[in-house]
Amino acid sequence: MEFVLNKERVQVLDIDADTTVLNLLRQRGLVGTKEGCASGDCGACTVMVGAVTSDGQIEYKIVNACITLAGSLAGTHVVTVEGLQNGGELHPAQRAMVEHHASQCGYCTPGFVMSLANLVEEQIESDQPAGNLCEIVTRGISGNLCRCTGYRPIVDAGISALNDTSSLSVCHDDARDFLQTYDHENDPADGSYHRPRCLEDLDRFVGAHGNQCLVAGATDFGLEITQRWTRFPMIIDISKVIEMREIGISDDEISIGASVSYSEVEQIFAERSYPFVHILHRLGSRQIRNTGTLGGNFANASPIADTPPVFIVWEATLELRNSKGQTREVSAEEFYVGYRETILASDEYIVRIVIPVACVDRFHRLYKHSKRIEDDISSVMGAFSIWGDDQNIGGIRISYGGMAAVPVRIREVEAMLMGAALNIELVEEACARLRTVMTPMTDVRASAGFRMDMAVEMLDRALREYMGEKLPRVDDLL
Ligand SMILES: Cc1cc2nc3c(=O)[nH]c(=O)nc-3n(C[C@H](O)[C@H](O)[C@H](O)COP(=O)(O)OP(=O)(O)OC[C@H]3O[C@@H](n4cnc5c(N)ncnc54)[C@H](O)[C@@H]3O)c2cc1C
Ligand code: FES
Ligand code: FES
């Protein structure tokens, strides 16, 4: 496997398929990148990875080195905190952190520096004046935790770095040449980490090894390695399968490849659905959204995954394919059969998710309850799609995550509201009915009782908003 590491081109041979980027860096003596949690939560291990996008641009994004697999680096430019200096000069993000006294114990500092340096890089690339700097910086560091300094000086350092006109791109000439001329047909150099480029190639691997070692963004899979200590002698990386990276938008439907990252999904819905983009902004952190995918969110089959309830109310279908190249379509709702169990056969995988535009255009509300606003898994996720004529409900779909072993659709409440003229008494009846049809779980995130109250609040709120009531939003309080 070949890539550029800071200023030098490196070739890595014979590494185990399940080696993480963090371990690879530390094996090479680059110990500036820290391990805090080894689970994608704290950002101490943040590094920048540059690659050529489908439209030929070079783009740098931040990832969590602790859960990203080293094999995914083939053909990229990796920038660590050691690689930011330019001829002995500190990078503006480093300089600003020093000048604003934004570090105490310093353990989190390399990660913050990398996140801030990435914001600087994005600004250089976009060539546009930045908008609200405080908001940009706050969002940019939402995946980095600091336990001792406090965030004010770090945010100030970020604002200062973004105002620094001396900033140079981290993409030097050798890295640019490498990225632009790299032939991905060379992947993999190693026999145990496979990165197929098309569905036919993927079918062969899945036919031989099943779907258990498929990895897209590794934001769930990586934790199997770092938290459960599971070893994976062979890995099939589906993040570069061209058909699974495709985005198709027509008048009738939006089709999103299973390996499209959340950061890319944010762009698809930027002008189409404020509620969905708002949920995506609260899904993990920038690091997680840069690598995590919709296919992984479905296939991981977590009952508290954020996006399945959204796609259930949007009447989305999943295109599945098996190792013989046969395809079938299932509704998002049918995909789950039990706790952490899906309809996927052992040689089957998700190719894409297809959403009818008409469903996205309907009135919808999506609410996530979690203990923190950013970088936190939900305790309850509620999705509501309502259509009809003024306050008469022509149709309604309600779905929750975190309320049962699988994401559920609440047909009983839908049936009582269907065709009804909505008024406040009916809203109260629907909420009372909801309490009788769900048996939520108790776990470390929330008790069953709290979850139930939260789910009822969400239904009440969605129906009131459909009736035209203006209710305060979290955004208004920030
Ligand atoms: C710090 C942190 C915060 C997180 N926050 C959230 C959050 O707020 N909300 C949320 O919903 N999730 C969250 N997650 C979970 C995770 O990011 C998502 O579930 C993500 O969508 C997984 O996608 P991935 O591409 O990384 O999947 P991977 O980790 O690559 O894969 C996950 C599983 O799905 C399988 N798989 C992946 N793609 C396919 C496919 N196309 N076909 C068949 N099988 C496939 C893999 O084999 C694996 O078993 C968080 C995770 C972390 C580490
Ligand atoms: S070490 Fe905490 S996110 Fe990687
Ligand atoms: S400076 Fe100590 S954790 Fe941030």
| Closest to 369 in 3D by CA, of 466, 452, 263, 291 | 452
Is the CB of 147 inside a 6 Å radius of any atom of ligand 3? yes
pLDDT, position 185: 77
Going through 272-410 in order, the beta strands assigned E by DSSP cover: 317-322, 327-331, 336-338, 341-342, 348-356, 363-369, 380-389, 392-401, 408-409
Q: Please state the atom number of ligand 3 nearest to the C-alpha of residue 105.
A: 2
Is the CB of 221 inside a 6 Å radius of any atom of ligand 1? yes
132: pLDDT strictly greater than 90: no
State in Å: Cα 149 to ligand 3 middle.
Answer: 6
369 CB-side CA count, 13 A: 20
Which ligand is located closest to the Cα atom of residue 284? 1
State in Å: Cα 418 to ligand 3 middle.
Answer: 53
Mind listing the pLDDT tens digit for each residue in 345-355? 999 999 999 99
128: pLDDT strictly greater than 80: no
SS3 state of residue 235: strand
Mean pLDDT over 107-131 rounds to: 89
Is the CB of 72 inside a 6 Å radius of any atom of ligand 1? no
Mean pLDDT over 217-227 rounds to: 97
Q: What are phi and psi of 308, to 5 degrees?
A: -55, -45
Which ligand is located closest to the Cα atom of residue 146? 3
Q: Among residues of the chain, what percentage have pLDDT more than 70?
A: 98
Grade residue 391 by pLDDT with cuts at 50, 70 and 90.
confident
pLDDT, position 272: 96
Grade residue 184 by pLDDT with cuts at 50, 70 and 90.
confident
pLDDT, position 467: 92
Mean pLDDT over 269-284 rounds to: 95
pTM of the model: 0.96
How far is 33 from 21, CA to CA, in rounded Å?
10
Please tell me the least confidently modeled range out of 89-93, 256-260, 472-476. Answer: 472-476
Q: What are phi and psi of 288, to 5 degrees?
A: -65, -40
User: C-alpha 32: how far from its chain's center?
Assistant: 25
Is the CB of 459 inside a 6 Å radius of any atom of ligand 1? no
Domains parsed from the chain with CATH numbers: 1-189 (3.10.20.30), 245-360 (3.30.465.10), 363-470 (3.30.390.50)
How far is 209 from 35, CA to CA, in rounded Å?
32
CB burial readout 183-217, b (16+ within 10 A) else e: eeeebbebebbbbbeebeebbebbeebebebbbbb
Mean pLDDT over 14-27 rounds to: 95
Q: Please state the atom number of ligand 3 nearest to the C-alpha of residue 147.
A: 3
233: pLDDT strictly greater than 70: yes
Which residues, listed in sequence order, are joined to residue 249 by a DSSP beta bridge?
254
Q: Whose CA is nearest to atom 3 of ligand 2?
A: 40
Q: Whose CA is nearest to atom 2 of ligand 3?
A: 105
Grade residue 188 by pLDDT with cuts at 50, 70 and 90.
confident
Q: What mean pLDDT, rounded, does the chain reach?
A: 94
pLDDT, position 271: 94
pLDDT, position 165: 84
Secondary structure of 366-389 in HEC code, one letter for each residue: EEEECCCCCCCCCCEEEEEEEEEE
Q: How far is CA 285 from CA 130, 138, 242, 320, in A?
A: 20, 11, 25, 28
pLDDT, position 320: 98
